[in-house]
Amino acid sequence: MREYLLTLCVTAAVTYLLTGPVRKFAIAAGAMPEIRARDVHREPTPRLGGIAMFGGLCAGLLVAAHLTNLKSVYEISNEPRALLSGAGLIWLLGVLDDKWGVDALVKLGGQMIAAGVMVLQGLTILWIPVPGVGTVSLTPMQGTLLTVALVVITINAVNFVDGLDGLASGMVCIAATAFFMYAYRMWFGYGVEAAAPATLFAVILMGMCLGFLPHNMHPARIFMGDSGSMLIGLVMAAGAISITGQVDPDLLNSSAGSERAAVHAMVPVYIPLLLPFTVIAVPVADLVLAIVRRTWNGQSPFAADRGHLHHRLLEIGHSHSRAVLIMYFWSALIAFGAVAYSVNSASVWVVLAIAALSGVGLVLLLLPRFTPHAPRWAENVFPPRYRRGRHRGAHAAGAMPQVGAGAPEMADATEEDEREAVPAGFHGATAIGDRSRLPQRRKISTHR
C-alpha cells in the first residue's frame, strides 16, 4: 500500500505543479476559445489542462516501474506500455482539438485507433464472466470489437460530463477510488496477479484528477479540455478492460470455493461489462440521454446542446457549486454502493443503506423547491436568495427595482446567489431583463 500511496502522491504533485505553466502556455498559444451559448463560464478560460495530466500519467508510470513491488506489473504484463501508447495518441488528438478544433468524426476515428493500438499490445477483453454461466471465451475479433466499443463509450461519457468546473475530474476521481478498492481486493484478497495492472491504473488516475482539481474548482483557472477528458476516460477504460476481460473467475475457485461463488464475487463487473459503467454510471446515463435526445430532435449525436444533467440542475435553481456536489454524491453512491455490494451481497444493511442514501439524493435534487424565504419585515437582513416576496411585488407593479437598502446588498451578492436567482420566474426571482436595469449588477450567463 505504501508504494501505491507514493505513486499517487508523485502523480498528483507532478500534475499540480505542471498545471500552472501549462495555463500560461495555453494563454500564450491562444487556446482560449470564445464563450459559446451552452457555456457556463463568463470569461474565456484556457484549455490544454490535459498536458499536465499526461505529464502526471507518465510520472506515475515511471515511478511505479522503479518500485520494488510495483515493477513486477511491468514484468508480468505489457498493459502499462499499451496504456501509455493509447494515452499518447488520444492525448495528442485532444491537444489538436483544444487548439484548432477537430471534426467529431475525426475524433471518433482517433479514439478507435487509440483503442486498436492498445488491443495490438495485449490490452483486450479475452473473456466475459457471466453470472450463473461461468466464463464465456471470446474470439479475437469479438474481443477487439468489444474492447474498442468500451473504450469509445467510456471516453465520450467522460467527455460529455465535462461541463462544469471540477465536475469531470471530481467524478472520475471518485470512480477511480472505488475502482482501486475493488481491484486491490481482487489482487491481495484473492491473490489474482492479473488484477495488478488495473490497481496501478486506478491509483495513477486518482493522482491525475487530484492534482488537477485544485486548479479546476469553481471558478476554474484552466479547463482540462478534450486533451484531458479523453485521456482520463481512456485510462478508466483501460483499467476496466484489464480487470474485466483478463481476470479469469476460475482463478478464484480456491478462494471462493466454487466457480459460481467466484463469478458471484465479481458482481460489480457484471452490469453491462460492468465496472466501468457502475463507477461512472452518471456520465454514461448522460451520454445515452444526449444521444437519444439529439437523434429524436433530428440532430447529430455529436451536436452540442444544453440538455445535459448538469445544465438541468442549474435550470431548476441549483447553484454551480451545489450542482457539482450533487453529481459527486450520485457518482459516489453508485460506485461505492457497487463495491460494497460485491464485498457482502448477502447483507440486507447494504441494500438498506443504498436505498436510504438514494432518498437523500432525491431530496438534494429537489432542494430548490424547499428554499426558505424570509418574512418581509426581515428581508433586508437576509441575502437576496431569500427575498421572494419583494421581487414578486416589484414584478406585479411593473416598477423599477428600488435603489435603497436592498440594492447594495444585491450588488454585493455572491456569484452563487446570482446563479440561483438566474432562472426567470423561478420562485419569483427577478428576471434577467429587470435585473439589467441595475447599473451595479453584471449581466451573467448560466450557459456553458
Residue 129 DSSP symbol: E
| Dihedral angle of Cα 86, 10, 46, 217, to the nearest 10 degrees | 120
CA distances from 317 to 207, 322, 358, 382, 441 (A): 33, 10, 20, 18, 19
**CA nearest to 157, candidates 171, 146, 145:** 171
Q: How many residues does the chain have?
A: 448
Q: How far apart are CA 263 and CA 250, in angstroms?
A: 8
Residue 185 DSSP symbol: I
Cite the DSSP H helix spans in 247-403.
Answer: 253-256, 259-265, 275-279, 281-296, 309-315, 320-343, 348-365, 388-397
CB atoms within 10 A of CB 21: 12
Scanning the structure block, which residue is given the C-alpha cell 502499462? Answer: 80
Q: Is 248 annotated as a binding residue?
A: no
CA distances from 283 to 38, 58, 386 (A): 18, 26, 33
63, β-bridge pairs: none
Q: How far apart are CA 47 and CA 102, in angstroms?
A: 15
CA 149 to chain centre: 19
Q: How far apart are CA 27 and CA 41, in angstroms?
A: 16
Q: Is 226 annotated as a binding residue?
A: yes
| Residue 272 φ then ψ, to 5° | -55, 90
Cite the DSSP H helix spans in 77-165.
Answer: 79-99, 104-120, 140-161
Q: Which residues are annotated as a binding site?
A: 159, 226
Q: Which residues are annotated as a binding site for Mg(2+)?
A: 159, 226
